[in-house]
Structure formats: C-alpha cells, structure tokens
Structure 1
Amino acid sequence: MSIAAAPQAPGRSPEQAAETTQTRLSAVPAPMPGALAPRLPFVVLVSMLLIGGVVGLLVFNTSMQQSAFQEQRLQEQATTLAAREQALDGELKKMEDPHKIAAKAKGLGMVVPQNAAMLRVPEAKVEGEAAAADRSATPPLHPKQAKPYSVQVAEEKARKEEAAKKKAEEKALAAKKAEEKRAAEDRERTSSDEAR
C-alpha cells in the first residue's frame, strides 16, 4: 500500500502547502465583567413573567375550585329548602281546611253570632242590631268524611277492573311468549331435520 501525497498547488513549496492545510487558531479575548449585565434585565423579566404566570394559574385554579364547592353547597341548600317549602305548603293546606278551623274555633270557645251589626265607616253609621252570641246558635260539627261512600265504591270497582285488565294483558303476553317459544322450537326441529 502506498500513501499518495496531497496534490500541491502550482507555484507553492511544500512548506507553504503544509502551512495552509493546518487550522489557524487565534486567541479569543476574555469576556469582560460587564458583558453579562445587558442580558440580566431580560432574564429577570422572563423569570418574573414565568413565576407570575404559574402563581396566577394556581390562584385561578384555587378560586374555581372554591366556586365549584360553594355552588354545590348552595345547590344542596336549595334542594333542602325546596323540600321544606313543599312540606310547609302541605301543612298549610291541611291547616286551611274549613272543618279544622271550625273545630279549633269551637275548642277555643268561639260561637256563631246570632245577629251581626255592620259598621259603615264613611257615614259613621251602624246597620243592624248586634246581639250577644250564645252556644245554642252554633251548629254541631260532624266528623269529616274523606270521601262519600258512592265515590269509595266507584274507586274500588275501578281498581278491580284495572286489576282484571292487567291480569288479562299478562295472560295474553304469556300466551304470546309461549307461542313464540313453540315456533322457535319448531324451526330448530325443522333445521335439524334438514341437516340430517
């Protein structure tokens, strides 16, 4: 094996050719102590922006979670208050029952007046003659019946008819399912007979 010499440029001596092929190194001046100073404000600004962004995101996320918790708590409170309102409305309807009001009034000793007098305010006149009320004028209270007997009988009849109708529907559904099952079994037998 032989090593071929690098081609020389015409008109140059081998020493000159060796000098040009070598890399020339030169000294780089040392950085000045104040060279980093112009970049320092930019680095500080970028760092502050990053830190501010992270802190802002944390604050935003925390406030959103607190808002979600508060919303959930308020929803539960609204549901509870709606249920309470409904219960109180039911109690109010029971208390507004005229039969209950009359029974309570009688229990307190109130009676129906026999003669009532009317006072006309603009004319400052009294119409009629007022008389003292006494217990003989108050009619006796009868126990309240929830529903008349005829209504109870009609409702019972309707319930029986509904039960009979439902039973008939269940029988029809069971018969339909049984028929479908028989048809499926017949198809299976037919397909197994054809396969043989």
Structure 2
Amino acid sequence: MSIAAAPQAPARSPDRASEKTQTRLTAVPAPLPAPMAPRLPFVVLVSMLLIGGVVGLLVFNTSMQQSAFQEQRLQEQATTLAAREQALDGELKKMEDPHKIAAKAKELGMVVPQNAAMLRVPEAKIEGEAAPADRSATPPLHPKVSKPYSVLVAERKAAAAEAAKKKAAEIAKKKSEQQAADEQQRTSSGEAR
C-alpha cells in the first residue's frame, strides 16, 4: 500500500506571514492647537501688571515733580520772609536806638525835667520836689564825637592810595596818548614817502 501523499498546502513565505500579523497603519489627524482659554488669564494678568506698573510710575513721577515744585516755591518764600525779617529787625534796632528815641521826644516837645519827684505808693508819700521842666535843662542830643585815631589813620591811607591810583592812571593815559601820537606820526611819514 502506498501511502499517497496528501496534497500540501502551499508553503507561506515569511514575508506574507508577517503581513498578516502586523496591524494596518492609518494616518493620524494633526493635533488640535491647545485652547487659548488656559493661557488667556495669564496673559491678561501679566498685561495688567505691566500697565499698572507703568501707570503707577507715571503717577509717582508726577507727584514727585509737583512736590519738588512746591518745595522750590516754599524755599523761595522762606528766603523772602527771612530777608524781610532781617530788614524789619534792622528797622526795629534803629527805632530802639536811644538817640533816635530822644530825637523823636524832642520833636514832640518833650524835655528833661530838672527835679523829679518820686511817688511811693505803699506809703502814699511824695519824695523830692517837682519843678516844671524847661528847655534850658535839656542837653544837646548829639554831641560832636571826634573820630578815633585809628580811623583817622585809615582814612589818610585810603586817601593816599586813591591819589596814587589817580596819578598812575594819568601817567598811563599820557603814555598811551604819546604812543598813539608817535604811531600816527610814523604812519603819516610813511605815506609821504
């Protein structure tokens, strides 16, 4: 008996076998862009911070400039008031001068009394005898005061220095006039040749 061989199925090639086991590749759609919703609050926040910072700096700078102008104005006002205070203080000192007070009293007709009487209030007594005042008892207000020797010496030195300056100026003027005349004579004699 012979065994007949059963028809064999055709042998598969290794390439075909792997094709069957592999899955088919398909095209994947492109990824969708990320939604703006999560980024939007961050961008708005950063923008608001930047705008707020710039506006804050402008407001701060403006207020600093205004305060600087106000400080300058107040400084000028303080300087003016200080100068006025000094001027008024000088006027007050002039008014407090005893000679000025005496001159004003004399203008008003006041005189120095010859005899003054004192009134003691607790004892109700009058000491001394009051006499009417007249102009003969009032001394002259401004007696002539001679200058100290040092002031006289300083005035003499200043006068001598001033005279020396004038003399030096006259000599320099004569010298420059002489030079101008010589120069003019040279130029006129040069033209004549």
Q: TM-score range by the shorter chain?
A: 0.5 to 0.7
Contact kept in structure 1, 2:103 and 2:141, CA below 8 Å: no
Alpha-carbon distance in 1 for matches of 2:117, 2:67: 62
Contact kept in structure 2, 1:103 and 1:141, CA below 8 Å: no
* Pairing 1:51–2:51 present: yes
Contact kept in structure 1, 2:118 and 2:126, CA below 8 Å: yes
Equivalent residues, number: 140
Alignment correspondent of 1:108: 108
TM-score when normalising by structure 2: 0.57
CA RMSD of aligned residues (A): 3.5
* Pairing 1:159–2:154 present: no
1:158: how far off? 4.2
TM-score when normalising by structure 1: 0.56
Alpha-carbon distance in 1 for matches of 2:109, 2:28: 122
Alignment correspondent of 1:174: none
**SS at 1:30's partner residue?**
coil
1:40: how far off? 2.2
* Pairing 1:28–2:27 present: no
1:49: how far off? 0.8
Alpha-carbon distance in 2 for matches of 1:100, 1:158: 33
Contact kept in structure 1, 2:111 and 2:134, CA below 8 Å: yes
Give CA-to-partner distance per residue, 1:100-158, whole Å, 9 cap, x none. Answer: 111101222323232131445xx45445246264224641434465x514545333234
Alignment correspondent of 1:139: 138
Contact kept in structure 1, 2:102 and 2:141, CA below 8 Å: no
Alignment correspondent of 1:117: 118
**SS at 1:49's partner residue?**
helix
Give the residue type in structure 2 aligned to 1:42.
F
Alignment correspondent of 1:93: 93
Unmatched tracts of structure 1, length 5 or more: 1-10, 13-23, 168-196
Give the residue type in structure 2 aligned to 1:82.
A
State, as a whole percentage, how many aligned pairs show the same letter: 61
Alpha-carbon distance in 2 for matches of 1:130, 1:59: 82
CA 1:30–1:85 in structure 2 vs 1: closer, same or farther (change >3 Å)?
Answer: same
Alpha-carbon distance in 2 for matches of 1:116, 1:75: 56
Give CA-to-partner distance per residue, 1:30-49, whole Å, 9 cap, x none. Answer: 347xx322222222211111
CA 1:116–1:55 in structure 2 vs 1: closer, same or farther (change >3 Å)?
Answer: farther
Alpha-carbon distance in 1 for matches of 2:82, 2:153: 36
Alignment correspondent of 2:80: 80
Alpha-carbon distance in 1 for matches of 2:117, 2:47: 91
